[in-house]
Amino acid sequence: NNNNNIQCLPLMAYGELLGIVVLEGDVVNDPQESLEIEGSRRFALEQVGLSIGNLKLRESLRQASIRDVLTGLYNRRFFDESSQREVLRAQRQQSKGDYDGLALMMIDIDHFKRFNDQHGHEVGDVVLREVAQVLQSQTRGSDVAARFGGEEFTIVLADITDQLALERAERVRKAVEDLVLRPSGKDVGSITISIGLAQFPKHGTSVEALLLAADKALYEAKNSGRNRVVVAT
Rounded Cα distance, 59 and 69, in Å: 15
Residues contacting 132, CB < 8 A, separation 6+ = 68, 71, 72, 73, 145, 147, 153
Residues contacting 28, CB < 8 A, separation 6+ = 5, 34, 37
How many C-beta atoms surround the C-beta of residue 96 within 10 A?
7
107 HSE (CA, 13 A, CB side): 28
Per the annotation, the verdict on 46 as an active-site residue is no
Q: Are 156 and 143 in contact (CB under 8 A)?
A: yes
Annotated active-site residue in 151, 152, 208, 220: 151
Q: Are 232 and 213 in contact (CB under 8 A)?
A: yes
Q: What is the DSSP letter of 67?
A: B
Cite the active site residues.
151
